[in-house]
């Protein structure tokens, strides 16, 4: 929702205009005075986690997650601070993680990159014998085998199960701090066989930052994703709305996606869909790592890959050809790969030299909406979140 403002009462008792925050949970998220319960304004049963507040039930987010039953809707309020851990969600019942905020989040000009007080991080990276999933900061998958990514164009075997039906996270920075230009894959997310949505969050790594896995459905809004190589990659269905893709360097493609035959996993419109967003040099990139006409929009992890950019600003780091083959062993982008653009802007959006690209008409672009991509209107998205 664009250009919308709500007036709400916060838990501190004042009326404020809310932009890019949750009207459902803002009162819960706001820090309270020392003599007031941190859970004032929160839904009944909310669990409070904090590394420093003595009133917290847990000091670690993962400990709070492990305390939950398999079913039933649960909310965890995460107090301001840094959490060096891996959060692994295997439960099927809905789960919401709320990052605590302070009054500065309500100030004019506050945004995702400055207002978040909660940072969840690890420094794991892929080493010999590891699956990529084992480096992730956040995993939402029903089992270890379901979280596995595997290798090659088909990935890990299909699993006959499904995990969390409705995972949400608000105003949390997820970071993999192991990553640098020379290191291997270092994931931030692994969302597989689950539905997950994120609001006002950041995700930071270099290679393989974001993964939407097999039979996974994800929605990300008003967020920032930092990366270098294939930093949006996956095998599921992912929609990115009003997201800043912050290029720390150029390697591989920005997006690397797989697809599959519908007989393999019916009812899933695989692909990455980037809408009303921005591709820009990251503030921590320098002139030698992100230069003009150096970065690719994407490359096909397998020949059924789908990636669509809609109404997205592209800075001058994007190569005029746009897309590249996956590797020298697969040197051609096949006609079964679907790469498309519509109504994009900025110096990198010129399509006159694009390869393997569909330039969508107005009529064709109408086929790429949240309900049409997810084959129905997802009930697990918070449509009240305004940006």
pLDDT band at residue 108 using 50, 70 and 90 as cut-offs? confident
Is 297 in contact with 307 (CB distance < 8 Å)? yes
pLDDT greater than 60 at residue 360 = yes
Terminal-to-terminal C-alpha distance of the chain: 6
pLDDT band at residue 227 using 50, 70 and 90 as cut-offs? very high
**DSSP-derived secondary structure for 43-100:** PTT-EEE-SS-TT-SBSSHHHHHHTS-SSS-EEEEE-SEEEES-EEE---S-EEEEE-
Residue 152's Cβ-count burial label (10 Å; 0-12, 13-18, 19+) is exposed
pLDDT band at residue 13 using 50, 70 and 90 as cut-offs? very low
pLDDT score of 144:
98
CA distance 101 to 77: 10
CA distance 274 to 313: 11
55: left (phi over 0), alpha (psi -120 to 50) or beta: alpha
pLDDT greater than 90 at residue 30 = yes
Pull the structure tokens for residue 301: 């992890």
pLDDT band at residue 326 using 50, 70 and 90 as cut-offs? confident
Domains assigned to the chain: 78-373 (2.160.20.10)
pLDDT score of 107:
87
Which of 69-83, 167-181, 257-271 comes out lowest in average pLDDT? 257-271
Active site residues: 208, 230
Kindly state the helix (H) or strand (E) to which residue 9 belongs, with its residue range.
Answer: strand 6-9
Average pLDDT on 330-339 reads: 85
pLDDT band at residue 322 using 50, 70 and 90 as cut-offs? very high
Instruction: Give residue for tokens 């990636």.
Output: 307
| Phi, then psi, of 26 in degrees rounded to 5 | -60, -45
Average pLDDT on 115-138 reads: 96
Pull the structure tokens for residue 66: 């492990």
User: What does R_g of the chain's alpha carbons equal in angstroms?
Assistant: 20
pLDDT band at residue 343 using 50, 70 and 90 as cut-offs? very high
CA distance 128 to 347: 40
Is 61 in contact with 109 (CB distance < 8 Å)? no
pLDDT band at residue 268 using 50, 70 and 90 as cut-offs? low
The bridge status of strand 189-191 relative to strand 118-122 is unpaired
Average pLDDT on 246-260 reads: 90
pLDDT greater than 50 at residue 17 = no
pLDDT band at residue 14 using 50, 70 and 90 as cut-offs? very low
DSSP-derived secondary structure letter, 263: T
Average pLDDT on 198-212 reads: 96
pLDDT greater than 90 at residue 285 = no
């Amino acid at each position: 929702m664009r250009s919308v403002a709500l007036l709400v009462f916060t838990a501190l008792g004042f009326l404020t205009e809310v932009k890019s925050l949750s009207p459902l949970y803002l009162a819960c998220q706001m820090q309270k005075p020392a003599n007031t319960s941190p859970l004032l304004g929160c839904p009944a049963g909310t669990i409070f986690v904090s590394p420093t507040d003595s009133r917290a039930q847990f000091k670690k987010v993962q400990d709070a997650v492990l305390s939950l039953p398999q079913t039933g809707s649960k909310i965890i309020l995460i107090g301001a601070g840094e959490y060096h851990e891996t959060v692994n969600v295997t439960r099927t019942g809905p789960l919401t993680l709320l990052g605590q905020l302070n009054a500065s989040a309500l100030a004019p000009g506050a945004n995702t990159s400055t207002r978040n007080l909660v940072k969840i991080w690890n420094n794991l990276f892929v080493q010999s014998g590891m699956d990529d999933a084992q480096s992730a900061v956040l995993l939402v998958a029903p089992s270890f085998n379901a979280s596995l990514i595997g290798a090659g164009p088909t990935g890990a075997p299909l699993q006959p199960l499904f995990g969390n039906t409705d995972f949400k996270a608000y105003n949390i920075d997820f970071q993999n701090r192991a990553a640098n230009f020379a290191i291997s894959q270092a994931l931030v997310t692994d969302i597989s066989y689950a539905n997950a949505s994120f609001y006002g969050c950041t995700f930071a790594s270099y290679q393989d930052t974001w993964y939407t896995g097999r039979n996974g459905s994800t929605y990300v809004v008003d967020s920032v994703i930092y990366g270098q190589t294939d930093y949006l990659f996956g095998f599921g269905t992912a929609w990115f709305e009003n997201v800043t893709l912050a290029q720390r360097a150029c390697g591989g493609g920005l997006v690397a996606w797989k697809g599959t035959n519908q007989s393999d996993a019916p009812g899933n419109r695989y692909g990455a869909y980037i809408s009303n967003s921005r591709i820009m040099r990251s503030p921590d990139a320098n002139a030698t790592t992100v230069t003009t006409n150096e970065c690719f929009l994407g490359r096909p992890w397998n020949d059924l890959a789908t990636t669509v950019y809609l109404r997205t600003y592209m800075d001058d780091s994007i190569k005029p050809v746009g897309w590249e083959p996956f590797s020298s062993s697969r040197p051609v982008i096949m006609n079964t790969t679907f790469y498309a653009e519509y109504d994009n802007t900025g110096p990198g959006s010129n399509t006159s030299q694009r390869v393997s690209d569909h330039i969508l008409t107005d009529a064709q672009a109408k086929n790429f909406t949240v309900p049409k991509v997810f084959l129905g209107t997802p009930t697990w998205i918070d449509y009240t979140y305004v940006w």
